[in-house]
Amino acid sequence: MVPEERRTEALFPGLWVRENLTAASLNAHGTSGVLRRSAEQRTALGLIDRLGIMARDPEQDVATLSGGNQQKVVVGRWLTRGLGCISSAGRQPASMVNARPAGTAVDNWVNGGHV
């Protein structure tokens, strides 16, 4: 679910883009409760590239990204879970992903590809 108020309901301001992207899939990025930063980094770099997230690097504070890039981070977080459906809770669902690269990546994922 991508809430309309992503800044207060979906993001973890003060944490990095990497941490926000992998927050929903911590089990996939660690063993025995210990996170593997290298695994998180690989996932984050892949999503940044595939979704076209405009960030200096994965360790940029997510709060410093533009609104559209914050949306992509929220969508990317749930894509790491392998969810079959992503919905937008708001009055303007079409604005959930407003940049072509993200839309293309989401389309590919929904149609059976991998992000």
Domains and CATH numbers, the chain: 2-110 (3.40.50.300)
Q: What's the mean pLDDT in 26-40?
A: 88
φ and ψ of 10, to 5 deg = -135, -25
8 A C-beta contact, residue 8 and residue 66: no
pLDDT more than 90, % of the chain: 43
Q: What is the pLDDT of residues 43-98, one digit of tens each?
A: 999 999 999 999 999 999 999 999 889 989 998 998 887 765 555 555 554 444 44
Q: How far apart are CA 92 and CA 76, in angstroms?
A: 19
Please report the pLDDT score of residue 66 as a whole number: 93
pTM for the structure as a whole: 0.71
What's the rounded Cα separation, in Å, for the pair 60 and 39?
A: 17
